[in-house]
């Protein structure tokens, strides 16, 4: 993948590893490892963010739980077949990874920039507390005619702006990668807690064609 793709999809997160790195898959003989990183918000709430990294980047690093790291990379998505259904998997694909001190002050430990195209009609709604919210699915192109389909969520004035976007609209967004727990009812007696990953939009703008 060429570096020019960083112009449309780039993120940087700093936090604490909260799951041991495990071999995820191999591609052309190269191993890729996956783990999760805990990234704290200003509010004190922590987002648990999945990461994928090539063995080449971590060959001399002793990555384990409670290790503090900073990752530069891109938010990637792919479909995984589970129980005869496709599930969208979201992960930060690391292009650079560095160990940092836990007491290093990071003004913004979780930031992402995306430029892409709205690929579904945005869904606008109000929360139970009356807050405006809008769900956007953004298609972000990358090399070899591939695209990442990234769920985004806009709030307040950005939600109001988003609800009128047409499918195919070209936009830029700035925000953070966040995790959110939700309940899924499996049957009358069983409710399962699941985690969704998305981009919480802090700023957005339309691109002039």
pLDDT tier for residue 1 given thresholds of 50, 70 and 90: very low
* Whether 202 contacts 174, CB under 8 Å: yes
* Whether 149 contacts 77, CB under 8 Å: yes
For 169-179, what is each residue's pLDDT tens digit? Answer: 999 999 999 99
Identify the CATH number of the domain defined by range 3-106: 2.40.50.140
Fold held by 112-206? OB fold (Dihydrolipoamide Acetyltransferase, E2P) (2.40.50)
Task: CATH 2.40.50.140 in the chain: give the residue spans.
Answer: 3-106, 112-206
* Whether 61 contacts 97, CB under 8 Å: yes
Res 119: pLDDT: 96
- The number of residues in the chain equals 209
For 37-89, what is each residue's pLDDT tens digit? Answer: 999 998 889 999 999 999 999 998 989 999 999 999 999 998 877 777 888 89
60: Cα within 13 Å, side-chain hemisphere? 1
pLDDT tier for residue 9 given thresholds of 50, 70 and 90: very high
User: In the chain, how many H helices and how many E strands?
Assistant: 2, 12
Res 4: pLDDT: 58
10 Å Cβ neighbour count for 102? 10
């Amino acid at each position: 993948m060429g570096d020019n793709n960083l112009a449309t999809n780039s993120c940087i997160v700093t936090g604490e590893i909260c799951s041991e790195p495990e071999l995820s898959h191999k591609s052309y003989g190269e191993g890729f490892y996956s783990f999760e990183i805990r990234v704290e918000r200003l509010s004190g709430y922590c987002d648990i963010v999945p990461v994928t990294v090539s063995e080449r980047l971590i060959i001399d690093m002793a990555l384990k739980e409670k290790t503090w790291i900073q990752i530069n990379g891109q938010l990637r998505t792919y479909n995984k077949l589970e129980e005869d259904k496709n599930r969208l998997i979201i992960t930060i694909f690391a292009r650079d990874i560095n160990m940092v001190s836990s007491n290093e002050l990071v003004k913004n430990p979780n930031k992402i920039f995306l430029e892409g195209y709205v690929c579904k009609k945005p869904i606008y709604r109000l929360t139970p507390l009356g807050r405006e919210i809008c769900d956007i699915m953004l298609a972000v192109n990358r090399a070899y005619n591939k695209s990442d389909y990234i769920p985004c969520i806009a709030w307040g004035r950005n939600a109001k702006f988003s609800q009128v976007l047409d499918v195919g609209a070209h936009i830029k967004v700035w925000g953070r990668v966040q995790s959110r727990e939700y309940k899924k009812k499996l049957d009358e007696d069983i409710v399962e807690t699941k985690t969704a990953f998305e981009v919480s939009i802090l700023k957005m703008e339309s691109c002039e064609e």
